[in-house]
Amino acid sequence: FSLHVSDVSFKLAQAALAKGEWPEAGRVRTEEFVNAFQYQDPTPGMQEKVGCQIEQAVHPFAHQRNLLRVSMRTAALGRGAGTPLRLTVLLDNSGSMDRADRAESVRRAFALLAAQLNDQDEVTLISFARTPRLLRDRVSGAELGDLSGVVGVLQSEGGTNLEAALQLAITKAGESYLAEAQNRIILLTDGAANLGNAEPDTLRAMVERARDQGIAFDACGVGADGLNDEILESLTRKGDGRYYFLDRPEDADAGFARQIAGALRPAAQNVKVQVEFNPDRVGRYKLYGFEKHELKKEDFRNDSVDAAELAAEEAGVAVYQVEARPDGKGPVGTVSVRFRDMSTGQMVERSWDIPYEAQPARLEEAVAPVRLAGTAALLAERLKGTPAGDTVDLGHLAKTAQGLRSLYPNQERIGHMIEMIEQARRLAD
């Protein structure tokens, strides 16, 4: 599978539960719950390029099953000081964005973006509603402070023609394309396209053509109400880019700044993970989430097949449910990763054995990373209503989550997850 890292689905579920609503199943992506947290995995050295952490625990709700956490973390070097940026920023100023909180969210997000740039970077700024409008063309990153004023006074103009906006953005991104640069289109919108050709397949095809030209596509969804999550998620997936979400201006915080910085400084591209289970040891297994990021087995070493990217010092985490047979032989299996190292341009491939553990700890007593990842994954499965989720006891899960507070005292999102579990319990009852 392509190692996709995002937290949008977690934020959308949090917003829904806060309103007393059960999240839409289609918006619940388990991998985005798992990757909503910082696991404090050790950073590998520059010689290693990528490190792997593997932990196991007893599944609390499935008989004779274990939970397996696999984490890939990159080294501390991404886009070097000598690598420029060529960004084309698309700002939605349609009627649906005409709310004070959304305008402030966009202003703060743009300010955080500007803070990441320097004088060798260039930014093209386009606003769009019924038609797109070129506001600034190829402005130096050092002059972006002046553009913050432009962003702050944009007036809403009715409908949303995302197709026309993408056409202009792709054209301008092509004009400023630089082979040795990071070339990206960044869309800030609520995703409510209602003019032009708004068919998802058409928009995805446009983004894929840009990707084939070396231009990645990122999107920042603004506001949960009316957000077209499906189209934004699919566009960023097809564009090998990042998907962010701001529900309130306060969400444009230090964590959001780290996400932007990571996207602009990727350490690894085309990141693919392959887990091969040993049939002499493993009966059945299931990967939680990543359904839209699955790849064919033969695509693992096919470098023409695009996959996701990781930033410097970023971890991508996956959780499996595994039936490990005590009477079997050998390790549980092997996990491999393959990616393009951005510091050298070379493909790197590494593999690690997954050891068999005869008596793994119960989830509530296991080491912190698998306890956190397992709790997040099981909450997502329960909210999504999958067969695996139907077995989840939210009361039991709440006790496990409470124990995470002392293990991650500085991670505010642990408290958010505990609150989400309690809100789900009330709705389920």
Say whether pLDDT at 404 is over 70. Answer: yes
| CA 190 to each of CA 9, 131, 187, 297, 347: distance values in angstroms, whole numbers, following the listed order | 15, 16, 10, 36, 37
The C-alpha R_g of the chain, in whole angstroms, comes to: 22
Mean pLDDT, all residues of the chain = 87
Average of pLDDT values for 307-319?
Answer: 87
Say whether pLDDT at 220 is over 70. Answer: yes
pLDDT at 79: 47
State how far the Cα of 235 lies from the Cα of 240, in Å rounded to an integer.
9
Residue type, 410: N
Closest alpha carbon to 121 in 142, 103, 105: 142
pLDDT tens for 64-74 read 999 999 999 98
State how far the Cα of 339 lies from the Cα of 349, in Å rounded to an integer.
7
Closest alpha carbon to 177 in 85, 286, 93, 270: 85
Least confident of 199-203, 378-382, 407-411: 199-203
pTM for the full model? Answer: 0.89
Average of pLDDT values for 128-136?
Answer: 85
Closest alpha carbon to 38 in 270, 321, 288, 372: 372
pLDDT at 144: 66
State how far the Cα of 68 lies from the Cα of 361, in Å rounded to an integer.
12
State how far the Cα of 57 lies from the Cα of 55, in Å rounded to an integer.
7
Helix (H, G, I), strand (E, B) or coil at 41: coil
Average of pLDDT values for 422-428?
Answer: 95
Helix (H, G, I), strand (E, B) or coil at 314: coil
pLDDT at 227: 77
Least confident of 38-42, 105-109, 195-199, 204-208: 195-199
